[in-house]
Structure 1
Amino acid sequence: MKRFFIIPAAFALLLTACSEDEDQTEAEEAASGASNLEVRDDPSEITEDTVEDDSSEYEYPLTGLPADNEEAAAERPVAVTINNHPDARPQSGLNQADVVYEMLAEGEVTRMVALYQSEWPEVFGPVRSARDYHIDVARGFDSVFVTHGGSPSALSRLGAGEIPSLNGLHYEGTLFEREAHRQAPHNSYISADHLEEGIREEGIEQERAINSLSFSEDEPDVSSSEAFEAEITYPQGQYNVTYTFDETEEAYMRSSDGDETVDERTSERIGAENIFIMSASHNVIDDEGRRDISLQEGGRGYLLRGGEMYDVDWINQDGRLVPAVEGEEVPLAPGQTWVNVLNAPLGEVVEITDEESL
């Protein structure tokens, strides 16, 4: 039987009025630099006492870790657009995401799409507005898409039903709530119970046959070099990212603008077993600086796992962006994955350092 837990909320959710279109704040950002939902367990906490004897037959498709049962492994992913503005940090729930994509938006800010399948946090957020490429990422995993607003093109696609979605523009003050300790647009959150409620209200199917990412405990049969730390430079320094390998955790711990990335409610340090850094073509498409990111053509990538960097390509495999060599998918280490999609040749914006050189 699946074991569940509820993390106590650190503070109450208070509703505040916000009628302003969230996308109007992008230029300012650049200038300023279910009912009693049973929240799923952290797979890393599963022990022999809490897992059925046959649980090893099943794996979560986005982490490769043991699943409680077949039903748990088939639960539909949820993709949440997460705000990464400095005023939105630290965020809530990123520590429990299976896969996180970090991508540029207008104003040279970055925004995230966090995928949840193996577990949900109690609260997700701050939730921010969507762009077309966020929808593309979510569709690749047949996800339920969660956003608060969007670009005109993204809203058109959501309105046409391209992907099942919950939008804070339609559920302001009901499913989505504004927290008083932050200013809009950096304070929109959705709780796990409200997310479950919205999925039920919209009649969204919650079970899906999910194509698993490729995982292996074994090191890939690909040439590699030591990678103790990776530094990613973005146009705005507030969004620079550092991943540092922790041998005890066997994961890369994340920092942003020199500060450790932690969960707002638990203060848990955030890291991932896999860091996938890829370069893709970006084109500005309107006067607001919105971008088109080409996620079809493939390109160069770095895969970091186990303290090693593997020089790979990235390919679009049925809508999912995966590392590959000569067209064959390179397996990830079982666990969580962070993906950084960059707008420059990797050698110009990514610095890989071995332990001895630090």
Structure 2
Amino acid sequence: MAVALLAATATAALAAGCTDHHGPAQDGRGRQQTPTPGQSQQLVSGTPVLAVKIDNAPAARPQTGLDSADVVYAEQVEGGLSRLMAVYATTLPKVVGPVRSARESDLELLRQFHNPTLAFSGAQHKLLPLINSAPLQAEPPAKASGAYFRGTDRPAPHNLYLRPARLLASPPGAKALTTGFRFGSAPAGGKPENRRTIRYPAAGFAFTWSANLHRYLVAMDGTPTRTADGKPVAPATVVVQYVKVRQSAFHDVLGNNTPYTETVGSGKAQVLRDGRVYDVNWQRRKATDGTQFTTKDGKPANFAKGQVWVVLAKAP
């Protein structure tokens, strides 16, 4: 039984990560080249956010730089596993990763930002033309090799890391976060709730309120989430957003369909802040809009100041 479970887990992990086709530049002997500062990189103009697709397979943990993100989106991928997209605007950590491949759903989610920079390890070849034509700055290793490096503490593909400063000269600031989120005092009502668990078919997230930190402690697949340097990942607000998850036109190399998570539309959500949970509605009229979260009386559901996690869960 244990062997079968291990084999199934390995197959699912392969299914969720088999679309990466690009890596950092190598020399003629197949060795990774050591980039020099600013090597072949052109700083992005304007004030875009940086969005990074982050590996969330067990072999990719602990991640690096996840605690510095302003917003972390969790989405379902092939095999029922999860992947993260971290959005950086107010702080650019020295290193982020491991970096993994993009999905079609990411393009719709990122339309809320003005010309965002997307760092990702690659994508299915049929998806690449859609990424290249999207209103964003695509920066995979094939294009920005000097911004990436391979770590030595874990095997590929779970060891690709990004140096954000090679893509952005400086953090664009909070004004670039055109998510539609509102921050302020807590809404009226709500009910006490110290722990919330969200499950995907082959992955799980748990958020436990810490009164001492005044933040939620994150656990993934039953293991506390810490960064590579031991810092706990602790958002101030957690949003469980119920969305439609359907099949896309894409499959991985094993034939598994890639889920498409629809983030334009409307539906129900729950906002966790200050150790309480609030039932709210969400609406995003078009892809270029942010998402509005409102209470039953139509008032904005304010978030607590700090990192926000949005877990995109399949609507019942």
Same fold (TM over 0.5): yes
* Residue 296 of structure 1, aligned match among 264, 273, 289: 264
- Would the aligned equivalents of 1:282 and 1:291 in 2 still touch at CA under 8 Å? yes
**Cα deviation digits, residues 241-263 of structure 1 (max 9, x gap):** 11010112111110112211001
Q: % of aligned pairs identical?
A: 26
Map 1:47-58 → 2, pairs under 5 A:
none
Q: Which residue type is aligned with residue 142 of structure 2?
A: L
Do structure 1's residue 162 and structure 2's residue 135 form an aligned pair?
A: yes
- Would the aligned equivalents of 1:231 and 1:240 in 2 still touch at CA under 8 Å? yes
Q: Which residue type is aligned with residue 103 of structure 2?
A: R
**Cα deviation digits, residues 107-142 of structure 1 (max 9, x gap):** 111111101111011101001100121222222122
* Residue 53 of structure 2, aligned match among 68, 78, 81: 81
**Alignment partners' CA distance in 2, 1:194 and 1:234:** 34
Q: Secondary structure at the match of 2:106?
A: helix
**Alignment partners' CA distance in 2, 1:248 and 1:261:** 17
**Alignment partners' CA distance in 2, 1:304 and 1:208:** 22
* Residue 109 of structure 1, aligned match among 68, 81, 85: 81
Do structure 1's residue 195 and structure 2's residue 178 form an aligned pair?
A: no
**Cα deviation digits, residues 47-72 of structure 1 (max 9, x gap):** xxxxxxxxxxxxxxxxxxxxxxxxxx
Relative distance call for 1:125 and 1:342 in structure 2 (3 A) is same
**Alignment partners' CA distance in 1, 2:47 and 2:92:** 11
State the match for 1:219 in structure 2. Answer: 186
Map 1:12-91 → 2, pairs under 5 A:
28-30=13-15, 35=37, 75-91=47-63
State the match for 2:273 in structure 1. Answer: 305
Q: Which residue type is aligned with residue 338 of structure 1?
A: W
State the match for 1:259 in structure 2. Answer: 223
**Cα deviation digits, residues 224-244 of structure 1 (max 9, x gap):** 1111110112211xx211101
**Cα deviation digits, residues 163-198 of structure 1 (max 9, x gap):** 1121123334x321111221111111111332337x
Q: Secondary structure at the match of 1:111?
A: strand
State the match for 1:324 in structure 2. Answer: 294
Q: Secondary structure at the match of 1:167?
A: coil
- Would the aligned equivalents of 2:210 and 2:216 in 1 still touch at CA under 8 Å? yes
Q: Displacement, 1:323? A: 2.0
Q: Which residue type is aligned with residue 144 of structure 1?
A: T
- Would the aligned equivalents of 1:126 and 1:187 in 2 still touch at CA under 8 Å? yes
**Alignment partners' CA distance in 1, 2:267 and 2:227:** 32
- Would the aligned equivalents of 2:77 and 2:83 in 1 still touch at CA under 8 Å? yes
Do structure 1's residue 249 and structure 2's residue 222 form an aligned pair?
A: no
- Would the aligned equivalents of 1:280 and 1:343 in 2 still touch at CA under 8 Å? yes
Relative distance call for 1:129 and 1:30 in structure 2 (3 A) is closer
* Residue 311 of structure 2, aligned match among 340, 353, 356: 340
Q: Displacement, 1:75? A: 4.4
**Alignment partners' CA distance in 2, 1:214 and 1:87:** 32
Relative distance call for 1:186 and 1:322 in structure 2 (3 A) is farther
Relative distance call for 1:212 and 1:156 in structure 2 (3 A) is closer
Q: Which residue type is aligned with residue 117 of structure 1?
A: A
Q: Secondary structure at the match of 2:14?
A: helix
Q: Displacement, 1:150? A: 1.5
* Residue 229 of structure 1, aligned match among 195, 199, 213: 195
- Would the aligned equivalents of 1:324 and 1:330 in 2 still touch at CA under 8 Å? yes
Q: Which piece of structure 1 moves more, 303-312 or 161-170?
A: 161-170
State the match for 2:243 in structure 1. Answer: 280
Q: Which residue type is aligned with residue 158 of structure 1?
A: I
* Higher normalized contact order (CA 8 Å, seq sep 6+, divided by chain length): 2
Give the number of equivalent residue pairs: 272
**Alignment partners' CA distance in 2, 1:149 and 1:232:** 28
Q: CA RMSD in A?
A: 2.8
- Would the aligned equivalents of 1:276 and 1:323 in 2 still touch at CA under 8 Å? no
Relative distance call for 1:328 and 1:150 in structure 2 (3 A) is farther
**Cα deviation digits, residues 278-332 of structure 1 (max 9, x gap):** 1111112344311222211211111000111000112116432342235553211
